[in-house]
Amino acid sequence: MKSNYIDHIGIAVKSLDESIPIYEKLLGSKCYAIETVADQFVKTAFFQVGQTKIELLESTDSDGPIGSFIEKRGEGIHHIAFAVDNTNDALNNAKANGFKLIDRVSRKGAEGMNIGFLNPKKTKGVLVEFCSK
């Protein structure tokens, strides 16, 4: 399963209100979407950078994945998402190649994408997401 391009880079932040103006200045573009993903306990803000997006992630619950990430490691890069043709195929293929899955099957993420994560233990500490339309 080939990864087509980097769809987005997820960055964990404490506050979207504080972080959005910083990234608008940095990237020279406006945040084009803010969306809450209830089952992940996150509020997301998106910026377009060419074909790739920057996804700022603010926790809506300190026990959620972003809340505990920030508690342990502070703000910063949380995951890299690769665009694939089919997320379930990519997850199955990764499993067959010895990677550990967090998600056995894809689920719905922000922007209606089908997403699935790999366990960072087998990817040199990087949380990898596959996503497809």
Q: How far is the CB of 28 from Zn ion (least distance, A)?
A: 22
Shortest Å distance, C-beta 26 to Zn ion: 19
**Nearest distance from residue 123's CB to Zn ion, in Å?**
15
What does the block give as tokens for 99?
């990677």
For 48, other C-beta atoms within 10 Å of its C-beta total 15
Whichever of 67 and 96 has its CB closer to Zn ion, that residue is: 67
Nearest to Zn ion of 96, 123 (CB atom) = 123
How many Å apart are CA 112 and CA 108, to the nearest integer?
Answer: 6
Q: Is 41 left (phi over 0), alpha (psi -120 to 50) or beta?
A: left
Q: Look up tokens 């990234």; give the residue.
A: 23
Q: How many CB atoms lie within 10 A of CB 126?
A: 12
Enumerate binding residues for Zn ion (CB under 5 A). Answer: 10, 81, 129
Which residues in 1-133 belong to E strands, given as ranges? 5-13, 33-37, 42-49, 52-59, 76-83, 107-108, 114-118, 128-132
User: Minimal distance in Å, beta carbon 15 to Zn ion?
Assistant: 19
C-beta closer to Zn ion: residue 58 or 129: 129
Nearer to Zn ion, 61 or 96 (CB): 61
